[in-house]
Amino acid sequence: MSAEIIDGRAFALKVRSRVTAQVTTLKKQHGLTPGLAVVLVGDDPASHVYVRNKNIATVEAGMKSEEIRLPDTASQEEVLEIVARLNADESIHGILVQLPLPKQVDEKAVLDAIDPIKDVDGFHVINTGRQAVGLPAMVPCTPVGCIMMLKDKLGDLSGLNAVVVGRSNIVGKPMASLLLGENCTVTIAHSRTRDLPEVCRNADILVAAVGRPNMVRGDWIKPGATVIDVGVNRIDGDNGKTKLVGDVCFDEAKEIAGAITPVPGGVGPMTIACLLANTVKAACRASEIEEPAYS
């Protein structure tokens, strides 16, 4: 058996074209141009690539894009001042502070300083809490993208056994909460989980968000399961080059799973598409305009 490969790039293009159409309508009917600001502190090369891609995608969707770069030596006060300025800027509807931040800057204090209505990453504790109790909230982009792909592939997720490996605040926990909202029976696994392979073998939906290359092996997967690989790991490849791999051993898993997201080209492109969708949502909420539905 060979699994269906879930093409995150193609799916993300569809979402992005819906966002672009929505932006055009907002401009025409309401004179509203959604704006996204991305704050990048320091010189992390991977963060620079992410921020550049986000900027390109934002402009392509017809939105305003602002990029603020601060040096690695920036103090917490400097970062908080930027956030305060962006909170007060009416042309900016979404604020994203690229993580990780340098060690002298308290990540939680910065995330909590973002106006929750502009928190397009969905990391503010107000949004986390609202989402947990089922109130309208900004929901983190990566799990939203995963749910969209799962619903597209499987339709109704009710009653399915879902295992999420990883319990971070930005992926694992919101992913589990969204799956619960879709009426899955959810297990959250982590580094202390006993007999992880056996836990995974129970999953109709297996989401790996760990950060360990190729950790999930083929024989951990229930035949026919849908596997979402969130992991992005750079490892040594051929000819002295490096390559990206996920948390799932793709070559083994594709022989057992029913469907699987590749790395790259799976979850990653959907994360950016969902960031744009969240920015449109935030702009609509700020202007009390009905929000578009994306899933």
Cα 95 from Cα 251, distance rounded (Å): 38
Closest contact distance (angstroms) between CB of 160 and ligand NAP is 21
Please pick, among 98, 118, 173, 254, the residue that the annotation labels catalytic: 98
Between 200 and 256, name the residue whose CB sits nearer to ligand NAP. Answer: 200
Cα 174 from Cα 125, distance rounded (Å): 12
Between 35 and 246, name the residue whose CB sits nearer to ligand NAP. Answer: 246
Instruction: List contacts with ligand NAP (CB under 6 A).
Output: 142, 165-168, 170-172, 189-193, 196, 209-212, 230-233, 267-268, 271
The question of whether 22 is a catalytic residue gets the answer no
Cα 127 from Cα 136, distance rounded (Å): 8
Q: Which amino acid is present at 240?
A: G
Closest contact distance (angstroms) between CB of 271 and ligand NAP is 3
Closest contact distance (angstroms) between CB of 8 and ligand NAP is 9
Task: Name, in order, each residue with C-beta under 8 angstroms of 37's C-beta and a sequence gap of 6 or more.
Answer: 65, 66, 67, 68, 86, 89, 92, 94, 95, 96
The question of whether 121 is a catalytic residue gets the answer yes
The question of whether 54 is a catalytic residue gets the answer yes
Could you write out the DSSP letters of every residue in 30-86?
H----EEEEEEES--HHHHHHHHHHHHHHHHTT-EEEEEEE-TT--HHHHHHHHHHH
Please pick, among 54, 173, 222, 254, the residue that the annotation labels catalytic: 54
CB-closest chain residue to ligand NAP: 168
Count Cβ atoms within 10 A of the Cβ of residue 171 and give its class: 0-12 exposed, 13-18 middle, 19 or more buried. buried
Please pick, among 121, 204, 229, 247, the residue that the annotation labels catalytic: 121
Closest contact distance (angstroms) between CB of 51 and ligand NAP is 13
Between 108 and 190, name the residue whose CB sits nearer to ligand NAP. Answer: 190
Between 160 and 220, name the residue whose CB sits nearer to ligand NAP. Answer: 220
Which residues are known catalytic residues? 54, 98, 121
